[in-house]
């Protein structure tokens, strides 16, 4: 569809800000780095883990990458929160207005209705629900990251600085932190590389990948179809034109697509390796 | 002066005994006894002292010993003639006793001898009669109590003629270590060890009284007299030495023929000291010929004289090894029945060999069994210190490899678990040290297996039996052995029935690596795990174990925490992991670690609800979360997929726009997705 849009050179709807897109790209790089380096330890008993570990230049260098990525991710998280605070001040005034408005990431009653409506649609007992700016699964992905940041980040810090943390906590808490860190990371990678990949990229109408998070742009046609409520609201408010921008030139899109494909390929292969490790090589 | 007092105090006693003596004198016909008693009245006092040349001397006479001596029937004054008829107490300075009064012949010989001449010169070290024979306790030379009895002679002569004595140091004596050499000689062995009184002692060759230097023609050991002296015992020695002396020639042409001592050196008379003499030349007359072959099997009987002369046996005569020769035959070797028996000289080694696997196989008549010459060679026997010797340290692996290399005769019959021994050894730290670094002190085959007591590991007497292995390795690795023997793995500490590990269980036998090599460091965990199965499995559940599993060594491995050779149970206060030491052990890597840090469970597993309930429930909590999330997510996705496909189909059918390019790109994917 993008080539068609480009041919037409029609303006496109801008869904994500430059910062949001940047954060997502950085997050992808960090997340893949963290996952791949971390998995070498978790599945140390497999030959692929040994191979990967050597590819990273040894466990120490893999650990170094892991920590740099983790630190970057923490900075990224802080940047996002700062951005939220700034936007609240600029666009909403109060937290309440921001968190309860139609464009809020917070779950609300409509998300529950949409979830039930969607299940009905799955089994052919109703129409596909009309979604607003954020669907419930997008909100779930978003908060999953929040949760993951807290759980994996805090336990990760404990493993990073065990000598410091055992000044206050018993030694066995490091063992507990190991289990939580490792299993939560498995959950995060597993979820992102399967459910998130399907929900956003592999589902038939987006297959093989949705570039919106990188370009920030989607065709008006797609926008109407995907987020009809948001579209209507913008049309009614007469603000749609404000959000329409020129599409990226072909070369930029191609670079973005290469990046996206790489990320998808890494993620998908990691799922395959994990399944192999857990099902066939488990010790 | 001081001896005045005892004389005065004795006076009353003398006065009392004097009438008794007079009475006895009247009653008895034995004048001598009477007088002796008179002397002994004073001289049986042990503390009695007299003087000689102004120096105080003990003048006690043991009546009993004198009574048992050869001179028992003599009167004191028979020898001490200057006391006769003198009033008692007599003058303290008496003239020396002149034994020649009775023993004129001996005295004459002695006077002419080396000893006698020395006395005449006034040599204070020169021996008088009493130096050898004693004074009042003189016994017949046949009496074993006599200092000149055969068994005592070497000691009597040795008083002066042993190393370190004034005579040996200050006088010109041409022989050294006389007593030592004699005692090791066949004569000395016969006399001193076997107690054969007929075996020659010093006096047998040197005579008792006419001891003369060998340069004196009258000497019993003068070149021309030597044969006569030796033949006193070796009566028909000419028969054996037929070729050397041609019978009577020996005595007739004493100057042109070799004397006994040319081959049988004085004081060292023993077969191993034979010079290679004429007998060898006799043998070589035939065996120098390169074409000489055995009649029965055609093997070469050539003897390379050069080899022999450069060998350890350069001074050994042919007949010493080929011992059954008969010198009286023209072909002396025709009487040989048996093969050379090295053990006739190398007795101890021979016994070791007989008890070894090699020796036992040979005894069974096994054709593969190596005998002495298999390793040491025949005529070119070189010591293990000789670089060209097959038994020189760096050559030993190749020597053993002749049979023990894969496919060779010893390797094919071997049923144990050690294979490619030689190749592995060469690659091992010992092999590299020996062959590449050229360190001859590095352990090679015989250092561990011994040279002559080679036995299989299962044999309790084997140097590589688990029971003996720590000591064997400890010969070089002494410090390690000491640590190990205090550890829980040592049988000296641990009384368990379970098999305990010894050196090779961790270090292997022939593939021993440096302990700082990564391969060794990583392999050690599986080595420990062979016995400590559970605990090693749980180790691999922790960060330490996982990093090790990835192939990196820069993390705690078994021995980093538990110690290597000094391993002890954690309950032992000396253990690296005891309550006192554990924090320090953690600090080796984690500087700043404290007591709580040491509470980290290094062998934790989340599979044991009893031992680690928290870990168990945390794990299952996390797993529940994981399964729950994936179940919901999975169902959501699986339900979504067919509906989404249908939606896309419907849309395409509805639109039917002629935009073929994009839809064409997606069509094959779609139909592919449709299939399931």
pLDDT single digits (tens) A58-67:
999 999 999 9
State residue B216's pLDDT score: 85
Write the residue in B550, B623, B644 that is nearest to A183 by C-beta: B623
Instruction: Look up tokens 């408010």; give the residue.
Output: A237
Q: Which two tokens stand for residue A275?
A: 């399944």
- DSSP code per residue over B566-612: S---TTSTTSTTSTTTHHHHHHTTSTT--TTGGGS-TT--TT-TTT-
User: Which of B512, B534, B561 is the last residue in one of the domains?
Assistant: B512
Same-domain status, B489 and B349: yes
- Name B264's Cβ contacts closer than 8 Å, sequence gap at least 6: B273, B274
Closest to B134 (Cα-Cα) out of B123, B119, B149, B121: B149
Same-domain status, B80 and B111: no
- B643 contacts chain A (CB < 8 A): yes
State which H helix or E strand residue B14 sits in.
helix B4-27
Looking at residue A45, the DSSP 8-state letter turns out to be T
- B666 contacts chain A (CB < 8 A): yes
User: Which of B45, B63, B95 is the last residue in one of the domains?
Assistant: B95
Q: Answer whether residue B545 is part of any domain.
A: no
Q: Answer whether residue B325 is part of any domain.
A: no
Total structural domains within chain A: 1
Write the residue in A137, A170, A179 that is nearest to B599 by C-beta: A170
Q: In this structure, are residues A221 and A18 in contact, taking their beta carbons and an 8 Å threshold? A: no
pLDDT tens, N- to C-terminus, chain A (283 residues): 444 444 557 899 999 999 999 999 999 999 999 999 999 999 999 999 999 999 999 999 999 999 999 999 999 999 999 999 999 999 888 999 999 988 899 999 999 999 999 999 999 999 999 999 999 999 999 999 989 999 999 999 999 999 999 999 999 999 999 999 999 999 999 999 999 999 999 988 888 889 999 999 999 999 998 999 999 999 999 999 999 999 999 999 999 999 999 999 999 999 999 999 999 887 6
- DSSP code per residue over B123-184: -TT---HHHHH-SS----TTSTTSTTSTTTHHHHHHHHHSTTSHHHHHS--S--SHHHHHHH
Q: What is the pLDDT of residues B538-547, one digit of tens each?
A: 999 899 999 9
- B641 contacts chain A (CB < 8 A): yes
Sign of the torsion angle spanned by Cα atoms B565, B566, B570, B575: negative
Q: Answer whether residue A106 is part of any domain.
A: no
- A187 contacts chain B (CB < 8 A): yes
Helix, strand, or coil here: A217?
strand
Distance of alpha carbon B594 from alpha carbon A165, whole angstroms: 11
Looking at residue B55, the DSSP 8-state letter turns out to be E
- Would you call B594 and A167 a contact, using CB atoms and an 8 Å cutoff? yes
Contact residues, chain B, for A50 at CB < 8 Å: 549-551
Q: In this structure, are residues B97 and B80 in contact, taking their beta carbons and an 8 Å threshold? A: yes
Q: Answer whether residue B320 is part of any domain.
A: no
| CB neighbourhood size of B418 (10 A) | 16
- A200 contacts chain B (CB < 8 A): no
Q: Answer whether residue B101 is part of any domain.
A: no
| CB neighbourhood size of B548 (10 A) | 24
Same-domain status, B241 and B377: no
Distance of alpha carbon A87 from alpha carbon A93, whole angstroms: 9
Same-domain status, B82 and B117: no
Q: Answer whether residue B387 is part of any domain.
A: yes
Helix intervals (H) in chain A: 2-8, 18-42, 47-55, 59-87, 95-100, 109-122, 136-160, 162-165, 172-191, 197, 212-215, 220-226, 228-237, 250-275
Contact residues, chain A, for B661 at CB < 8 Å: 3-4
- B596 contacts chain A (CB < 8 A): yes
Distance of alpha carbon B70 from alpha carbon B667, whole angstroms: 139
- A275 contacts chain B (CB < 8 A): no
Write the residue in A50, A162, A169 that is nearest to B550 by C-beta: A50
Same-domain status, B131 and B268: yes
Same-domain status, B71 and B183: no
Same-domain status, B83 and B186: no
Q: What is the 3-state secondary structure (H, E, C) of A231-265?
A: HHHHHHHCCHHHHEECCCCHHHHHHHHHHHHHHHH
Write the residue in B545, B622, B647 that is nearest to A179 by C-beta: B622
- Would you call B549 and A44 a contact, using CB atoms and an 8 Å cutoff? yes
Same-domain status, B158 and B267: yes
Q: Domain containing A260: what range? A: 17-101+135-215+249-280
State which H helix or E strand residue B57 sits in.
strand B55-58
- A162 contacts chain B (CB < 8 A): yes
Same-domain status, B62 and B145: no
Q: Domain containing B47: what range? A: 4-95
Pairing of strands A244-245, B49-52: unpaired
Q: Answer whether residue A3 is part of any domain.
A: no
State which H helix or E strand residue A12 sits in.
strand A12-14
Low-confidence ranges of chain B (pLDDT < 70): 1-34, 238-259, 262-263, 268-279, 326-328, 656-676
- For the CA atoms of B200, B203, B207, B212, the dihedral, rounded to the nearest 10 degrees, stands at 120
Phi and psi of B52, rounded to 5°? -135, 125
- Would you call B623 and A199 a contact, using CB atoms and an 8 Å cutoff? no
- Would you call B673 and A186 a contact, using CB atoms and an 8 Å cutoff? no
- B550 contacts chain A (CB < 8 A): yes
- Count A/B contacts: CB-CB distance under 8 Å: 147
Same-domain status, B257 and B366: no
Distance of alpha carbon A40 from alpha carbon A47, whole angstroms: 10
Q: Answer whether residue A120 is part of any domain.
A: no
- Would you call B618 and A179 a contact, using CB atoms and an 8 Å cutoff? yes
Helix, strand, or coil here: B359?
helix
Same-domain status, B113 and B87: no
Q: Which long-range contacts (CB under 8 A, 24 or more apart) does B121-125 make?
A: B125/B160, B125/B166, B125/B167, B125/B170, B125/B171
- Would you call B550 and A60 a contact, using CB atoms and an 8 Å cutoff? no
Distance of alpha carbon B275 from alpha carbon B265, whole angstroms: 9
- Would you call A178 and B648 a contact, using CB atoms and an 8 Å cutoff? no
Closest to B157 (Cα-Cα) out of B121, B107, B122, B192: B192
State residue B16's pLDDT score: 54
Candidates A204, A206, A226: best to mutate against B (most CBs of B within 10 A) is: A204
Q: Answer whether residue A260 is part of any domain.
A: yes
Q: Answer whether residue B321 is part of any domain.
A: no
Helix, strand, or coil here: A13?
strand
Same-domain status, B397 and B434: yes
With CA atoms as reference, the chain B residue closest to A161 would be B590
Q: In this structure, are residues A42 and A186 in contact, taking their beta carbons and an 8 Å threshold? A: yes
Distance (Å) from the alpha carbon of B645 to chain A's nearest alpha carbon:
6
- Name A158's Cβ contacts closer than 8 Å, sequence gap at least 6: A165, A169, A173, A174, A177, A181
Contact residues, chain B, for A209 at CB < 8 Å: none
Q: What is the pLDDT of residues B231-251, one digit of tens each?
A: 888 877 766 665 454 445 555
Q: Answer whether residue A56 is part of any domain.
A: yes
- Please, what is the Cα angle at B326 between B337 and B377, to 5 degrees? 55
User: Which of B215, B242, B273 is the last residue in one of the domains?
Assistant: B273
- A161 contacts chain B (CB < 8 A): no
> How large is the ipTM?
0.92
Taking CA atoms, B172 is separated from A213, B113, B167, B169, B378, in Å, by 114, 16, 8, 8, 43
Write the residue in B604, B626, B644 that is nearest to A205 by C-beta: B644
| CB neighbourhood size of B337 (10 A) | 5
- Name B139's Cβ contacts closer than 8 Å, sequence gap at least 6: B68, B69, B70, B145, B146, B149
Q: Answer whether residue B562 is part of any domain.
A: no
Q: In this structure, are residues B622 and A183 in contact, taking their beta carbons and an 8 Å threshold? A: yes
Q: Answer whether residue A76 is part of any domain.
A: yes
Q: Answer whether residue B323 is part of any domain.
A: no
Distance of alpha carbon B359 from alpha carbon B366, whole angstroms: 10
Phi and psi of B515, rounded to 5°? -70, -10
Helix, strand, or coil here: B300?
strand
Q: Which two tokens stand for residue A204?
A: 């038939």
| CB neighbourhood size of B596 (10 A) | 20
Distance of alpha carbon B632 from alpha carbon B653, whole angstroms: 32
- Would you call B639 and A4 a contact, using CB atoms and an 8 Å cutoff? no
Distance of alpha carbon B62 from alpha carbon B48, whole angstroms: 12
CA B543 to chain centre: 51
The whole model's pTM is what? 0.65
Closest to A247 (Cα-Cα) out of A215, A225, A223, A224: A215
Distance of alpha carbon B165 from alpha carbon A31, whole angstroms: 95
Q: Answer whether residue A126 is part of any domain.
A: no
Sign of the torsion angle spanned by Cα atoms B373, B374, B379, B380: negative
CA B170 to chain centre: 37
- Would you call A171 and B599 a contact, using CB atoms and an 8 Å cutoff? yes
Q: In this structure, are residues B639 and A123 in contact, taking their beta carbons and an 8 Å threshold? A: yes
Q: Answer whether residue A113 is part of any domain.
A: no
With CA atoms as reference, the chain A residue closest to B662 would be A1
Q: Which two tokens stand for residue A104?
A: 């809020």
Total structural domains within chain B: 4
């Amino acid at each position: 569809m993008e080539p068609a849009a480009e041919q037409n050179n029609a303006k496109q709807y801008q869904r994500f800000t430059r910062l949001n897109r940047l954060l997502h790209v950085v997050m992808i790089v960090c997340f893949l780095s963290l996952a791949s380096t971390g998995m070498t330890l978790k599945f140390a008993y497999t030959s692929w883990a040994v191979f990967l570990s050597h590819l990273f230049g040894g466990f120490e260098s893999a650990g170094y990458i892991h920590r740099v990525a983790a630190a970057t991710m923490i900075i990224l998280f802080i940047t996002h929160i700062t951005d939220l605070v700034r936007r609240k001040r600029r666009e909403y005034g109060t937290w309440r207005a921001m968190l309860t408005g139609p464009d809020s990431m917070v779950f609300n009653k409509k998300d529950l209705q949409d979830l039930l409506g969607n299940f009905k649609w799955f089994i052919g007992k109703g129409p596909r629900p009309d979604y607003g700016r954020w669907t419930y699964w997008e909100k779930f992905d978003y908060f999953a990251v929040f949760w993951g940041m807290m759980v994996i980040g805090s336990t990760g810090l404990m493993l990073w600085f065990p000598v410091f943390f055992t000044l206050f906590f018993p030694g066995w808490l490091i063992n507990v932190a190991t289990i939580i860190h490792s299993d939560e990371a498995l959950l995060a990678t597993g979820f992102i590389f399967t459910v998130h990949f399907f929900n956003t990229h592999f589902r038939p109408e987006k297959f093989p990948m949705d570039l919106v998070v990188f370009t920030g742009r989607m065709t008006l046609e797609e926008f109407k179809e995907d987020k009809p409520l948001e579209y209507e609201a913008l049309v009614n408010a007469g603000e749609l034109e404000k959000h329409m921008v020129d599409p990226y030139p072909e070369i930029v899109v191609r670079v973005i697509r290469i990046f996206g494909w790489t990320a998808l390929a890494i993620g998908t292969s990691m799922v395959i390796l994990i399944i192999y490790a857990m099902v066939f090589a488990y010790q | 002066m001081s001896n005045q007092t005892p004389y005065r105090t004795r006076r009353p006693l003398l006065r009392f005994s004097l009438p008794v003596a007079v009475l006895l004198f009247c009653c008895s016909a034995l004048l001598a006894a009477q007088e002796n008693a008179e002397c002994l009245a004073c001289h049986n006092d042990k503390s009695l002292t007299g003087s000689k040349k102004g120096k105080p001397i003990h003048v006690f006479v043991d009546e009993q010993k004198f009574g048992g001596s050869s001179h028992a029937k003599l009167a004191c004054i028979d020898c001490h003639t200057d006391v006769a008829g003198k009033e008692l107490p007599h003058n303290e300075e008496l003239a020396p006793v002149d034994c020649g009064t009775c023993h004129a012949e001996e005295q004459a010989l002695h006077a002419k001898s080396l000893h006698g001449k020395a006395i005449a010169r006034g040599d204070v070290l020169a021996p008088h009669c009493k130096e050898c024979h004693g004074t009042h306790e003189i016994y017949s030379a046949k009496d074993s109590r006599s200092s000149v009895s055969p068994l005592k002679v070497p000691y009597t002569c040795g008083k002066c003629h042993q190393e370190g004595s004034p005579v040996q140091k200050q006088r010109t004596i041409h022989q050294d270590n006389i007593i030592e050499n004699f005692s090791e000689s066949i004569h000395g062995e016969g006399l001193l060890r076997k107690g054969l009184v007929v075996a020659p002692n010093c006096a047998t060759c040197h005579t008792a009284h006419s001891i003369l230097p060998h340069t004196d023609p009258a000497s019993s050991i003068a070149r021309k007299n030597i044969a006569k002296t030796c033949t006193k015992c070796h009566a028909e020695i000419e028969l054996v030495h037929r070729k050397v002396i041609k019978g009577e020639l020996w005595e007739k042409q004493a100057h042109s023929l070799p004397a006994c001592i040319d081959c049988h050196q004085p004081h060292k008379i023993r077969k191993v000291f034979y010079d290679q003499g004429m007998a060898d030349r006799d043998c070589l007359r035939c065996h120098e010929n390169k074409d000489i072959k055995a009649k029965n099997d055609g093997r070469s009987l050539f003897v390379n004289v050069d080899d022999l002369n450069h060998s350890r046996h350069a001074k050994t005569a042919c007949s010493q090894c080929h011992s059954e020769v008969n010198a009286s035959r023209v072909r002396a070797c025709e009487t040989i029945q048996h093969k050379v028996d090295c053990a006739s000289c190398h007795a101890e080694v021979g016994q070791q060999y007989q008890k070894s696997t090699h020796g036992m196989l040979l005894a069974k008549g096994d054709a593969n069994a190596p005998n002495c010459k298999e390793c040491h060679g025949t005529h070119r026997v070189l010591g293990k210190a000789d670089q060209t010797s097959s038994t020189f340290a760096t050559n030993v692996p190749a020597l053993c490899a002749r049979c023990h290399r894969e496919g060779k005769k010893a390797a094919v019959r071997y049923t144990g678990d050690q294979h490619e021994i030689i190749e592995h050894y060469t690659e091992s730290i010992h092999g590299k040290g020996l062959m590449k670094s050229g360190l001859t002190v590095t352990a090679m085959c015989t250092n561990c297996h011994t040279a002559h007591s080679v036995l299989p590991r299962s044999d309790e007497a084997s140097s590589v039996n688990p029971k003996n292995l720590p000591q064997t390795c400890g010969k070089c690795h002494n410090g390690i052995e000491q640590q190990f023997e205090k550890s829980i793995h040592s049988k000296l500490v641990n009384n368990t029935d379970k098999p305990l590990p010894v050196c090779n269980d961790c270090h292997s036998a022939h593939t021993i690596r440096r302990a700082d090599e990564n391969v060794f460091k990583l392999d050690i965990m599986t080595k420990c795990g062979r016995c400590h199965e559970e605990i090693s499995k749980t180790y691999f559940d922790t960060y330490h174990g996982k990093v090790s599993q990835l192939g990196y060594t820069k993390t705690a491995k078994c021995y980093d925490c538990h110690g290597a050779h000094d391993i002890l149970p954690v309950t032992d206060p000396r253990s690296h992991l005891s309550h006192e030491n554990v924090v320090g052990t953690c600090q080796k890597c984690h500087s700043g670690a404290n007591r709580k840090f040491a509470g980290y469970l290094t062998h934790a597993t989340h599979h044991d609800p009893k031992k680690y309930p928290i870990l168990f429930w945390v794990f299952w909590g996390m797993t529940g979360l994981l399964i729950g999330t994936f179940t919901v997510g999975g169902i959501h996705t699986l339900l979504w997929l067919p509906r989404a496909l249908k939606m896309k189909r419907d849309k395409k059918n509805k639109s039917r726009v002629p935009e073929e390019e994009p839809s064409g790109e997606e069509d094959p994917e779609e139909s592919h997705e449709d299939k399931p």
